């Protein structure tokens, strides 16, 4: 499985570790959902392959929020992400954030009618598309800034991935 975030936050850029923000619940959710057998922190991100996971970001440029990212960055970054998926062949691509899903949806190789259906579907959970053979699963963004989902809803989404 490949976890894909939108881009590194400032703290992740400073520490060199994924999902390193003080209020980010990614690591706690991984454990509580049963995706990893022990509690991990951002400093353990290099251990994810032990559990069959990879981790990356769509856009490599760090920012304090996604509001400074521009559409061309998503398009350029999509090419690199597609290459990674094609090269490593994960069974599942877990998109960490509904915003990320909505950003790449226009870039997916699907018919316009299918894209319209995907836009109307529930944005969290498994999606009826693949990327180079990998199933797509959308998770809520675990950042403490995300007020769109309660912790219980996030945990349910991570459990559905497990």
Q: Distance (Å, rounded) from C-alpha 84 to C-alpha 68?
A: 24
Domains and CATH numbers, the chain: 2-161 (3.40.470.10)
Q: pTM of the prediction?
A: 0.92
Q: What is the pLDDT of residues 25-36, one digit of tens each?
A: 999 999 999 999
Q: What is the pLDDT of residues 85-132, one digit of tens each?
A: 999 999 999 999 998 998 899 888 888 888 888 887 778 999 999 999
Q: Using an 8 Å Cβ cutoff, are 33 and 158 in contact?
A: yes
Strand order in the sheet with 134-139: 54-57, 2-5, 92-96, 134-139, 125-131
Q: What is the pLDDT of residues 34-79, one digit of tens each?
A: 999 999 999 999 999 999 999 999 999 888 777 788 888 888 899 9
Tokens of 77: 């970054």
């Amino acid at each position: 499985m490949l976890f894909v975030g939108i881009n590194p936050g400032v703290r992740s850029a400073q520490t060199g570790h994924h999902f390193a923000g003080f209020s980010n619940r990614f690591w706690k959710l991984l454990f509580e959902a049963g995706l990893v057998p022990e509690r991990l922190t951002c400093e353990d991100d290099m251990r994810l392959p032990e559990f069959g996971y990879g981790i990356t970001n769509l856009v490599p440029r760090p920012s304090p929020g996604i509001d400074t990212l521009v559409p061309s960055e998503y398009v350029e970054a999509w090419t690199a992400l597609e290459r990674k998926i094609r090269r490593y062949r994960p069974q599942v691509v877990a998109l960490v954030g509904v915003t990320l899903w909505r950003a790449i949806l226009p870039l997916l190789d699907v018919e316009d009618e299918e894209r319209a259906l995907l836009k109307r579907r529930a944005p969290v959970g498994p999606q009826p598309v693949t990327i180079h053979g990998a199933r797509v699963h959308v998770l809520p963004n675990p950042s403490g800034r995300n007020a769109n989902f309660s912790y219980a809803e996030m945990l349910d989404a991570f459990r559905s991935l497990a």
